[in-house]
Amino acid sequence: MPQIQIYDTTLRDGAQGEGVNFSLEDKVLIAHRLDELGFDYVEGGYPLSNPKDAEFFQRIAARPFKHARVCAFGMTRRRGVKPADDIGMKALLDSQAPVITIVGKTSDFHVNEVLSVSLEENLSMIRDTVAYLCGEGREVIYDAEHFFDGWKANSDYAAKTIQAASEAGASIIVMCDTNGGTMPEEVATITREASSKIDKPLGIHTHNDCDLAIANSLAAIDAGASQVQGTINGLGERCGNADLISVVANLALKKQGYQVLHDRGVAHLAELSRYVYEIANMHFRVNQPFVGPSAFAHKGGMHVHAVNKVASSYEHIDPAQVGNERRVLVSELSGRSNIIALATKMNMQDDKDLMDRVLQQVVDLENRGYQFEAAEASFELLVRKLAGTHTPHFELVQYHTSVVSRGGEPVTEATIKLIVNDQLRHEVAEGDGPVNALDAALRKALNGLFPTLNKMHLVDYKVRVINSDAATAASVRVVIESRDESDTWGTVGVHENVIEASWQALVDSIEYKLCKEDT
Ligand SMILES: CC(=O)SCCNC(=O)CCNC(=O)[C@H](O)C(C)(C)COP(=O)(O)OP(=O)(O)OC[C@H]1O[C@@H](n2cnc3c(N)ncnc32)[C@H](O)[C@@H]1OP(=O)(O)O
Ligand SMILES: CC(=O)C(=O)O
């Protein structure tokens, strides 16, 4: 079975994506995670570009990878300069990286119009650079920039560029669809043509400008490429690079005959994807294939009915194969099967009368603007309340919020009166806004009695107007996402008053946490 090398460039090409900015610490953490999961190459950055990228390689040298080879990225020598005198070469060698990835021009158009050198000088730049770095004992991977565009425009010249790199000692020639505009059938044809021109293996590096980066990567592999470059979650310049999460999952689970990473790596793809989003401080792409929270989320009543009988009826793989999980969503599109599937977690699925009442209540509440898809914790509390098994941990007597501005920064305050364990608790707190102040006052009133609340915090707060034609009398829906050390959960509140809607979602969030601790 051919082994396909997985080359990650999240830390270099991924960092070229808009809004992506990794600290040195972030880069080191991600790099080690990739190594643990069996990635073959990890490109750490461009040492000439900035001190952070240069330092990255020192950090990896101090704590080397177990499996992966670390690569430093750079371009061919500058025009008219000997490699030994080129500051780019010096930075690459100083990085001590055992692998150096060199990008060079393939397209005569780019050589003439962008680099502004003769076609011959570009060939010398490629040859000299690769030979010099190989002579210094490094493995050199050659990234042929604008490879497919160059090949279509002038295949003779494009072939000469990769022959120069190959003959100078590059270990692999990587065909780059730099502008992301190539179609899969062109990738396949050109890969076959290119492989007849050199006796080195080929790799593929694609961009997603036509939403074809993954298809193009797979097309090249089917046509004989043995390395695929890409990034976690498809981060990268413009529309991004090929998403290695999907590339790996497709190679390991959908296509026959390829070996990638090792089993442990494939089963941890969901975790890896979320880890990188978390470190990059980006939101998950909910419908991201294989690993997104919605990738195996079933909403339509007929789907859930079938999945409850045979999971494969609406799932192309078992979600556990990539470390994801099946979810059943509750909404106005639900049938009894959705409710039963969720109530199974609470062991209440056999109470048919209860299931009917829950379904009725969900449909009524959704009609009033509630949504339970992102508020599974509110749904669980609803089921417990209808079943008569929920004992609230506290009871509201009253809350009050105020915002006072005397021309400067407004001061927001909340007071709260609660009955907890038959005692009246009365607390006041300030906050950035009314919801933050309410949250602070509520915690003040409860923390002493329920210390586990210290471990929970709100991670997201969303407000949405749900019947906008009613102008200021419109209802709003508030969805709060909360987290503790092990779980994330969503709660919902709906009211004409945003504070009351927030309060409902806040109370559900805290009640859910306390119920979780009771069981
Ligand atoms: C397809 C890719 O993604 S390649 C990677 C792209 N990534 C980045 O550019 C991020 C890191 N880059 C950087 O930090 C900077 O661009 C540096 C340090 C590399 C260079 O900075 P500067 O010297 O200020 O040059 P600048 O970025 O303005 O322009 C690029 C220069 O490289 C030259 N160049 C471009 N490609 C190549 C190449 N393959 N070989 C040699 N020179 C090249 C250009 O002609 C230009 O030089 P010129 O101004 O003498 O014509
Ligand atoms: C090398 C590279 O990042 C590209 O050509 O897209």
Q: Which residue has a Cα nearest atom 12 of ligand 1? A: 49
Half-sphere exposure at residue 22, Cβ-oriented, CA atoms within 13 angstroms: 30
Burial 14-35 (b: 16+ CB within 10 A, else e): bbbbeebebeeebbbebbbbbb
Q: Which helix (H) or strand (E) is 404 found in, with range?
A: strand 395-404
Q: 100 CA distance to ligand 1 centroid (A)?
A: 16
Helices (H) and strands (E) in the chain, counts: 18, 16
- Which atom in ligand 2 lies closest to the alpha carbon of residue 12? 3
CB 391 within 8 A of CB 375: no
* Rounded CA separation 232/27 (Å): 13
Query: Who's near 507: CB < 8 A, 6+ residues apart?
Result: 396, 442
Digitized pLDDT (tens) for each residue of the chain, 519 residues in all: 789 999 999 999 999 999 999 999 999 999 999 999 999 999 999 999 999 999 999 999 999 999 999 999 999 999 999 999 999 999 999 999 999 999 999 999 999 999 999 999 999 999 999 999 999 999 999 999 999 999 999 999 999 999 999 999 999 999 999 999 999 999 999 999 999 999 999 999 999 999 999 999 999 999 999 999 999 999 999 999 999 999 999 999 999 889 999 767 999 999 999 999 888 888 889 899 999 989 999 999 999 999 999 999 999 999 999 999 999 888 777 888 888 888 887 888 888 899 999 999 998 898 888 988 889 999 999 999 999 999 999 999 999 999 998 888 899 999 999 999 999 999 999 999 999 999 999 999 998 899 999 989 888 888 988 875 555 568 899 999 999 887 889 999 999 999 999 999 999 999 999 998 887
Q: Helix, strand or coil for residue 465? A: strand
Mutate to test the pocket of ligand 2, among 49, 151, 178 (most ligand atoms within 8 A of CB): 178
Query: What does the pLDDT read at residue 302?
Result: 94
Q: 142 CA distance to ligand 1 centroid (A)?
A: 16
Q: 136 CA distance to ligand 1 centroid (A)?
A: 23
Query: What does the pLDDT read at residue 470?
Result: 55
Number of C-beta neighbours around residue 62 at 10 A:
8
Q: Helix, strand or coil for residue 417? A: strand
Number of C-beta neighbours around residue 71 at 10 A:
28
The CA R_g of the chain, rounded to the nearest whole Å, is 28
149 Cβ below 6 A of ligand 2: no
Query: What does the pLDDT read at residue 473?
Result: 63
Please give the span between the terminal C-alpha atoms of the chain, in angstroms, as a whole number.
48
Query: What does the pLDDT read at residue 468?
Result: 53
CB 167 within 8 A of CB 190: no
76 Cβ below 6 A of ligand 1: yes
* Rounded CA separation 114/112 (Å): 6
Query: Residue 281: beta bridge partners?
Result: none
Question: What ipTM did this prediction achieve?
Answer: 0.94
69 Cβ below 6 A of ligand 2: no
- The vertex-306 CA angle with 303 and 309, nearest 5°, equals 150
Tokens, residue 511: 């009640």
Half-sphere exposure at residue 12, Cβ-oriented, CA atoms within 13 angstroms: 28
User: What does 8-73 look like in DSSP terms, one character per residue?
Assistant: E-TTTTGGGSTT----HHHHHHHHHHHHHTT-SEEEEE-TTT-HHHHHHHHHHHHS--SSPEEEEE
Query: What does the pLDDT read at residue 498?
Result: 93
* Rounded CA separation 485/465 (Å): 32
- Which atom in ligand 2 lies closest to the alpha carbon of residue 13? 3
Query: Who's near 392: CB < 8 A, 6+ residues apart?
Result: 511
SS (H, E, C) 208-232: CCCCCHHHHHHHHHHCCCCEEEEEH
143 Cβ below 6 A of ligand 1: no
* Residue of 2, 1, 6, 3 lying closest to 228 (CA atoms): 6
SS (H, E, C) 13-26: CHHHCCCCCCCHHH
241 Cβ below 6 A of ligand 2: no
Looking at residue 128, the DSSP 8-state letter turns out to be: H
43 Cβ below 6 A of ligand 2: no
CB 218 within 8 A of CB 255: yes
Query: Who's near 458: CB < 8 A, 6+ residues apart?
Result: 439, 480, 481, 482, 509
Phi, psi torsion values for 403, nearest 5 degrees: -125, 120
Instruction: Read off the pTM.
Output: 0.82
176 Cβ below 6 A of ligand 2: yes
- The vertex-51 CA angle with 67 and 173, nearest 5°, equals 45
* Rounded CA separation 271/303 (Å): 26
Q: Helix, strand or coil for residue 262? A: coil
13 Cβ below 6 A of ligand 2: yes
111 Cβ below 6 A of ligand 1: no
Query: What does the pLDDT read at residue 341?
Result: 82
* Rounded CA separation 350/406 (Å): 59
CB 82 within 8 A of CB 76: no
115 Cβ below 6 A of ligand 1: yes
Q: Which residue has a Cα nearest atom 4 of ligand 2? A: 178
52 Cβ below 6 A of ligand 1: no
Phi, psi torsion values for 479, nearest 5 degrees: -120, 125
Domains of the chain are: 5-262 (3.20.20.70), 350-386+455-518 (3.30.160.340), 394-449 (3.30.160.740)
Q: Which residue has a Cα nearest atom 10 of ligand 1? A: 49
* Residue of 136, 36, 29 lying closest to 92 (CA atoms): 136
Rounded to 5, what percent of the chain is helix, strand, coil?
Answer: 45, 20, 35
205 Cβ below 6 A of ligand 2: yes
303 Cβ below 6 A of ligand 2: no
Q: 115 CA distance to ligand 1 centroid (A)?
A: 9
Query: Who's near 477: CB < 8 A, 6+ residues apart?
Result: 369, 370, 371, 463, 464, 466, 492, 493, 494, 501
CB 126 within 8 A of CB 140: no
